[in-house]
Amino acid sequence: MKRPTVSASTLLLRALAYIGIGLFMVLYPFRVLQAFYWGAVALFGVLSVSELLGLLAPPKAEQKRPQRVLPLCACLGALLFLLCWPETALMILPMVMGLWAMVNGALHTVSYVQFYKNDVPGRLGTLFSAILSYAFGLTLFLNARGYIATVALIAGIYLVLYGAVVFGDFWNEMHPVGYNPRKRRFRITMPVWLAAFLPYTMISRVNQIFRRPAEKTKPSRQLPEEDAFDAVKEEAPPDMEVFVHTSPDGMGMFGHVDLYFDGQVITYGCYDDRTKWLFNALGEGHMLFIEDREAYIPFCIYESNKTIFGFGLRLDEEQKQSIRDKLQSIQALLIPWYSDAQLAQMGRLPKDAHYDDYASLLSQAVSTYFYKFKSGKFKTYFVLGTNCVLLADQLIGAAGTDILKVGGIITPGTYYDYLNREFLRNNSLVISRKAYTAAKCSEQIARIQAKLDAYQAEKSKGV
């Protein structure tokens, strides 16, 4: 399939737009807030009129009257609040930003406590970040009236920096000869609260594309950018593939990241349910190595109802060796670990019991080598800190990616956004993009299901 691209001129226009809007917000923060305020008034005014017209229209059979009145009351209430207390309404912005800063401080605190318990070097930097976040957050929250303009100022600085990064992409497109893709660069990502949900928002779009009957898609028609998921820059297979997992419900909607390199899938997480606590946010850190990629992908789709996005990277020998060296240093911190199903096979747990936890099912469906960390920052898994994305970034970073985590959190959505934008550029490491769905992997999923059914039937017989 012909791949979509972003031209250098488009990158330049985007960069100038971000920088221009950002500078305007920095220079004229009160005008920006005024425009934001009246925009909110107009929005809730239009929504109120729309809900009122909907209430006057004949009701649908399945709709009850309270279901139709509540949205109207909510929109009218928000509109009246904006009109009667405009300054109070604008105070919500610094209060929300302050709360977000304090949440980041709490996340840094949790990470510091875990680093302290595991004796991780350099942990004082994490503690300093926590203190700084608390101080900034409390300042905004407790004196919101005095820092209303600060919100526009910070947002403007963010846009200027983001525009500078986009301009850097434009420059690299125009001067590819002097561009070194292996060098890590400063990069501002999209806000984490947007990136966190990005993989989830792609599920329905991708599934609609692949459910589309083949006869309705003319071969000569060039698909729009959002349709061209399966596409390549080079015909040769990639040297590394990064997988971004997501599912339509539960914690799975925020995603998971692992990668395929040197003939094995490498993934990190907490796979021992007995060690999980704090609403499953913390637990023992495990690293898995799976050699059968063709069985692992359909297993993930089948077991967790996932859609998986794969991005292929082209690496040279120096980059690959850098990743191998980094992986070797991480493997020095590992010791073997076994799932309950594996322990039963070894005679260390009852053989006739049912083991249906994720690790046990994975070990029965796919040949998997489990390890846990005996030391280091990844000894304890933290879903909003030392998570799957951070470990993947430790490895991928050796190949020259330039992700910078903003606000203390790096999410699978952050990586999806970065890899997708790099794929659209001509001069980048990302050379392919593919979506793995249940519809596309139906035959492989059927084999995985049969294998797991056989395992469960064997246990039912007490074997």
Q: What is the DSSP string of 329-358?
A: HHHTTEEE---HHHHHHTTSS-TTS---SH
Question: Which stretches in the chain have pLDDT values below 50?
Answer: 179, 212-227, 404, 406-407
Query: What is the distance of C-alpha 63 from the center of its chain?
Result: 36
Question: What pLDDT is attached to residue 235?
Answer: 84
The H or E element containing residue 207 is helix 198-211
3-class DSSP assignment, residue 249: coil
pTM comes to 0.82
- Quote the pLDDT of residue 35: 94
Q: What is the pLDDT of residue 461?
A: 66
Inter-CA distances, 279 with 84, 232, 331, Å: 41, 40, 28
Beta bridge partners of 231: 433
Residues 191-227: tens digit of each pLDDT: 655 555 566 566 555 555 555 444 444 443 443 444 4
pLDDT recorded at residue 27: 94
Q: What is the pLDDT of residue 425?
A: 85
C-alpha distances out from residue 253 to 202, 249, 282, 299, 334, Å: 10, 6, 18, 17, 29
CA angle 41, 46, 51 (to 5 degrees): 125
Residue 179: half-sphere exposure toward Cβ, Cα within 13 Å: 16
From the list 352, 409, 347, 415, the residue with the least C-alpha distance to 383 is 409
Task: Please give the Cα distance from 224 to 216 (Å, whole number).
Answer: 15
Q: Give the pairing of strands 231-232 and 430-436.
A: antiparallel
- What is the reported pLDDT for 394? 87
